[in-house]
Chain A
Amino acid sequence: NAGVTQTPKFQVLKTGQSMTLQCAQDMNHNSMYWYRQDPGMGLRLIYYSASEGTTDKGEVPNGYNVSRLNKREFSLRLESAAPSQTSVYFCASSEIGTGGAFFGQGTRLTVV
């Protein structure tokens, strides 16, 4: 009963380094999302994928890229990490029409 699985759970990067956050869901959902959570700002949408083969920018896409590898997997890439990208990142998935979304456990990223 895995739901949405994110890896890694914790990561420390140096400024300028790159990394990819992985996300996989086993609920056969069409839509997947990446959010970042910062104190006092709630969750903000970075990118989303309404269906396999499509991706679109959310509210805060700068500095990120995504890949919808297949229906199950949706990865988030930081090409050149900056301290402003220090945050907790959540992946989520949902099915159109049902409302709501299921979230992973999060990745706590620190950029020094």
Chain B
Amino acid sequence: GNSVTQMEGPVTLSEEAFLTINCTYTATGYPSLFWYVQYPGEGLQLLLKATKADDKGSNKGFEATYRKETTSFHLEKGSVQVSDSAVYFCALSDGGATNKLIFGTGTLLAVQP
């Protein structure tokens, strides 16, 4: 079945450091891929998405490229801020009639001033 694997955290960085959070997936067909962010005490917010191979999703300085050859969708940001501290979830959807999302286990990012 479909699944998502993402790097375990926590990831601790200093402000202005470069961020990479790895995400790989297993899926039949051509899923859509997503990154969600969860700030403390809140629900999940869609951060970015990509719907086909080689698409690059971007938002708020974060980027991720849909790599079909390596089945990956790694999240990157060039210079993190303290306000980026949150849990990041990689997810896939096979679309179809249900649009169900399958999530990775989440990666906690802590950015120190």
Binding site for B on A (CB under 8 A): 4, 31, 33, 35, 40-45, 48, 50, 56, 58, 90, 92, 94-97, 99-106
Contacts and interface: CB of A to CB of B under 8 A. Distances in A.
**Chief secondary structure at chain B's binding surface:** strand
29 contacts: A31-B98, A31-B99, A33-B100, A41-B105, A43-B44, A44-B103, A45-B100, A45-B102, A48-B100, A50-B98, A56-B98, A90-B44, A92-B44, A94-B99, A95-B99, A96-B99, A97-B95, A99-B49, A99-B95, A99-B99, A100-B32, A100-B46, A100-B93, A101-B99, A101-B101, A103-B44, A103-B45, A105-B42, A106-B42
Contacts of B99: 31, 50, 94-97, 99, 101
Interface size class of B (residues with CB under 8 A): 20 to 34
A94 B99 CA distance: 8
